[in-house]
Amino acid sequence: MTNGLEFNTPIQFVPGVGAPRAAMFERLGIRKAIDLLFHFPRSYQEVSECKSILELEEGVLATVVGVVVDIDSRFTFEGKSSVGVLLAVDGGGYVRCTWFNQPFRREAYSRGQRVLARGVVKSTGVAYQMRHPEVTILDADEPPPPPRPRAVYPLTEGLTQRMLSSAIDAALPLAQNIEEALSEEIRRDAAMILKPGSDPLLPIDQALQQIHQPIDMAQADAARLRFVFQEFFVLQLALAMHRYAYQQEHPAPSIEANAMVHTRILKRFPFALTDDQRKVIEEVRTDMAKTVPMNRLLQGDVGTGKTAVAQYAMLSAVANQHQAVLMAPTELLARQHSKKLQDQLAGSRVEIALLVSSMPGAEKRELLQRIAIGTVDIVVGTQALLSEQVEFAKLGVVVIDEQHRFGVQQRATLRTTRTAPHYLVMTATPIPRTLALTLFGDLDVSTLKQRPPGQSRVQSYVLAPELMERWWGFVKQQVQAGRQAYVVAPRVESDDEKEIRGAVQWWEELRNGPLEGLRVELLHGRMDSQQKQSVLERFSQGSIDVLVASTVIEVGIDVPNAAVMTIADADRLGLAQLHQLRGRVGRGKHAGYVGLIPTVGGQDPVPQSDPEKIQWLEQFAKIQDGFELAEIDLRRRGPGEIIGTKQTGLPEFRIADISRDEQVLILARNLACQVIAKDPELKSPEHARLLRQVVAKHGKLMPVGDVG
């Protein structure tokens, strides 16, 4: 207990808070006194040295020291009041401090007091004024305090920086009683790696003091570093612990692809593999031969051939008398995967089945029986595979396509058998390294960057209004030359409030306007599965010239003859999503073209996009590398926007920033792996406090950490 406060003291009893303000603090997640200590500053305001009258500037924050020479109150006809305190500033001149509707201020000061005032300077033409300044009363002979950074905190409506700072100051003495989770050895090792020869990371009591009340920015930075490392370190411990536990508790079947099997599978591919594909196949082959479950994330840019690696893994399982599963996020994509496998394995004895929710009941029951007795080798499906009714005779490998579209709990559902299947998790959305280490910190990561020879570069253009007529003429030329085209809109229907056209409105406008005479059809997520499949099949067969679609076509749709794509309201999509869409064209022998239309208001031809959005669309048009785009997107939009925090279980950090703190994240991962290698369950007494932190912070994450 310190100054009458304990860790669990309700926030309303912290000095300066009280019951009326407690609800505001609770909106920030501050319910107890201890929560104040971990409400970290979002930035710091550099406070200048005390200035003389001659150094003051209109509209600039400044600090002055002086003596109170006059106090007055004024009232308006509307009943509003103001209190003015006139300061004789050191070195000559006067500054008037003014507060509106705060009559108590009159009693707070007295003539002859020496005070420090900090505020934005206003000039009345006659004298300088500060409205609602911060004032510190000094002793008569006390020199002004040296300038120091001032913490700036996240706020909520009704709370001011001063209210929050005052409450945190009252709770700061509690810092000396908080237990230290990081041993001096860990703090020393971390500091030595980050900055050889430096002191260990700060102990927690000192770090809390310095992060809230730093003397200079060096202190603030040192305190932040300690807490950033701790957040990353605790997460990486959770991931490493669960990976170890799962591997020990659930052996996987050893699936060896001997030389004969290996050669036979490779002969099935109707194309030459890239060096990247061969390297990743060897990694998968090595993993699956072990009795430790493979947990591999395969990320590859659009068109780099991830499906070939997945096919290799599944055929390896089948060759060893095991079943394989390929799970896709949409029925459209599941059907496409199933058809491609059927075509490539035509004439083989591999039995492939499609399991989707739209199947008739009798057909589904019959298929479930065949899966359960093992007469189906490869099952392709959607979330329907996660039903409790689906039982496998001998499941060997699970391939999950487009991992970020499945929730964490969904991806873990298949892990209910006595032996664990091997897992290959694929994504065509390149994931920045820091995000991969955070979301998939316990998966081995393989990357495909090489494109198969013969693929053309896709040309991208930002379309100004005056270019639209020429662009639609170009689309018509491409169709007349035998190609096909997409038009993509982020929405299905128009948003009348924002005057944004949806796919339905674009379809109506284009087939009766610029693309009249062409076979223009519509595809979107609200159509039933049979309708969607019918439209996609007709587009694949070439009986549709232009497919107007919502972003339902973003993932995996493969029509080699599609050469042109127009993306409406392109500035409303992220760079990664735009790159996914761009990957739908230029997949065959013909060059690909993408036109990016910035947002326009209704029928108004003048773009409403701001210059910054136009600038990053132009940047996107120049960059072909999905990994480079992913890094830009991470810095621009943050991790939650890129992958979807709710879907992935992305942990919320109080202070760490994965786009800014990459070096610290990698260090935390390496040290966490070292700790778990020596003490897999954190059972040693020296790790007891760390274990409590891991369970408190990431207990829910741990059971499913191995798949995201």
The CATH number of the domain where 38 resides is what? 1.10.150
Contact 284, 296 (CB under 8 A): yes
Residues 38 and 59 in one domain: no
**Structure confidence by residue, pLDDT tens digits, 265-308:** 998 888 889 999 999 999 999 999 999 889 888 988 877 888 89
Residues 35 and 74 in one domain: no
**Structure confidence by residue, pLDDT tens digits, 509-557:** 999 999 999 999 999 888 887 888 888 889 989 999 999 998 877 666 7
Strands 128-131 and 352-355: unpaired
Task: Domain of residue 35: give its range.
Answer: 1-44+162-178
Determine the 3-state secondary structure of 479 from DSSP. Answer: helix
d(CA 324, CA 397): 5
Q: How confident is the model at residue 407 (pLDDT cuts 50, 70, 90)?
A: very low
Q: Which of 172, 173, 211, 169 is nearest to 16 (CA)?
A: 169
Contact 486, 562 (CB under 8 A): yes
- Residue 601, pLDDT > 70, answer no
The pLDDT value recorded for residue 3 is 63
Stretch 434-445: mean pLDDT: 74
What residue type is assigned to position 650 of the chain? Answer: L
- Residue 612, pLDDT > 60, answer yes
**Structure confidence by residue, pLDDT tens digits, 653-706:** 889 888 789 899 999 999 999 999 999 989 999 999 999 999 888 876 554 434
Residues 295 and 365 in one domain: yes
Rounded percentage of the chain residues whose pLDDT exceeds 70: 90
> Looking at the domain assignment, is residue 27 inside a domain?
yes
Which tokens in the block code for residue 606? 């003048």
The pLDDT value recorded for residue 498 is 55
CATH number at residue 109: 2.40.50.140
Residues 352 and 323 in one domain: yes
CA 411, distance to chain mean position in Å, is 19
Strands 395-400 and 378-381: unpaired
Residues 439 and 307 in one domain: yes
Distances in Å between the alpha carbon of 411 and those of 458, 490, 575? 34, 27, 26
Residues 73 and 32 in one domain: no
Choosing from 623, 643, 661, the residue where a domain stops is 623
The pLDDT value recorded for residue 312 is 96
The pLDDT value recorded for residue 522 is 93
State the angle between helix axes of 217-249 and 688-698 in degrees (0 to 180), rounded to the nearest 10: 80
- Residue 166, pLDDT > 50, answer yes
- Residue 6, pLDDT > 50, answer yes
Choosing from 600, 623, 646, the residue where a domain stops is 623
522 forms beta bridges with 548
> Looking at the domain assignment, is residue 437 inside a domain?
yes
**Structure confidence by residue, pLDDT tens digits, 567-578:** 999 988 888 889
d(CA 563, CA 484): 6
Q: How confident is the model at residue 602 (pLDDT cuts 50, 70, 90)?
A: very low
Rounded percentage of the chain residues whose pLDDT exceeds 90: 49
Which tokens in the block code for residue 596? 């990016």
Stretch 312-326: mean pLDDT: 96
Choosing from 594, 623, 652, the residue where a domain stops is 623
- Residue 707, pLDDT > 50, answer no
Q: How confident is the model at residue 495 (pLDDT cuts 50, 70, 90)?
A: low
The pLDDT value recorded for residue 702 is 52
d(CA 667, CA 187): 12
Q: How confident is the model at residue 463 (pLDDT cuts 50, 70, 90)?
A: very high
Contact 546, 567 (CB under 8 A): no
- Residue 328, pLDDT > 80, answer yes
Residues 475 and 443 in one domain: no
d(CA 633, CA 10): 40
Which tokens in the block code for residue 228? 């950033």
- Residue 155, pLDDT > 80, answer yes
Mean pLDDT over the full length of the chain: 86
CATH number at residue 530: 3.40.50.300
Contact 214, 148 (CB under 8 A): yes
Stretch 382-403: mean pLDDT: 82
CA angle 401, 406, 410 (to 5 degrees): 115
Residues 538 and 465 in one domain: yes
**Structure confidence by residue, pLDDT tens digits, 64-120:** 999 999 999 988 777 788 999 999 999 899 999 999 888 888 888 999 999 999 889
> Looking at the domain assignment, is residue 153 inside a domain?
no
Stretch 247-260: mean pLDDT: 86
> Looking at the domain assignment, is residue 152 inside a domain?
no
Residues 382 and 362 in one domain: yes
Higher pLDDT, 362 or 457: 362
Q: Which of 185, 7, 216, 217 is nearest to 203 (CA)?
A: 185
Residues 438 and 476 in one domain: no
Residues 275 and 390 in one domain: yes
> Looking at the domain assignment, is residue 84 inside a domain?
yes
Alpha-carbon Rg for the chain, nearest whole angstrom, is: 32
- Residue 454, pLDDT > 70, answer no
- How many folded domains does the chain comprise? 4
Higher pLDDT, 589 or 51: 51
Of 171-175, 290-294, 339-343, 642-646, which has the strongest mean pLDDT?
A: 171-175
The pLDDT value recorded for residue 336 is 86
Cβ-Cβ contacts under 8 Å for 219 (sequence gap 6 or more): 210
Residues 293 and 334 in one domain: yes
Of 249-253, 285-289, 300-304, 427-431, which has the strongest mean pLDDT?
A: 285-289
Contact 478, 485 (CB under 8 A): yes
> Looking at the domain assignment, is residue 615 inside a domain?
yes
> Looking at the domain assignment, is residue 694 inside a domain?
no
The pLDDT value recorded for residue 700 is 61
> Looking at the domain assignment, is residue 413 inside a domain?
yes
Which tokens in the block code for residue 220? 């603030």
Stretch 236-244: mean pLDDT: 85
